[in-house]
Amino acid sequence: MKRGKNLNLFYDSEADVLYFSKGIPSGRDISDEAEDEVVIRKNPRTKEVTGFTILNFSKRTTKKSSRVNLPFEVELHPLI
């Protein structure tokens, strides 16, 4: 498995923030707001998305469903 290719997920219940990161976040990444309360992080050189943050995450879910719609598409590939 290549280093930095793992998808990391962390939910901070006190702040109600959900973090996704591809590998270890870098302080050099740039951040852009994708939509209200959703921030994406990109590598400034390659423009590749390296992660995203969803503020007020629990407001995006309902008790009837655990499904959450996000404002982007994800392409998955198996690790070989």
17 band by pLDDT with thresholds 50, 70 and 90: very high
Cα–Cα distance for residue pair 1/5, rounded to 1 Å: 8
Task: Give me the residue spans of the domains in the chain.
Answer: 7-58
Mention every residue, 6+ apart, whose C-beta is less than 8 A from residue 12: 18, 19
pLDDT digits (tens, 9 = 90+) for 21-66: 888 888 899 999 988 899 999 999 988 888 999 999 888 776 666 6
3-state secondary structure of 38: strand
* Terminal CA-CA length for the chain: 7
The answer to whether residue 79 scores a pLDDT higher than 70 is: no
Residue 12 has pLDDT above 90, yes or no: yes
Measuring CA to CA, which residue among 59, 58, 40, 60 is closest to residue 50?
A: 40
Which pLDDT score, from 0 to 100, does residue 2 have? 46
- The model carries a pTM of 0.69
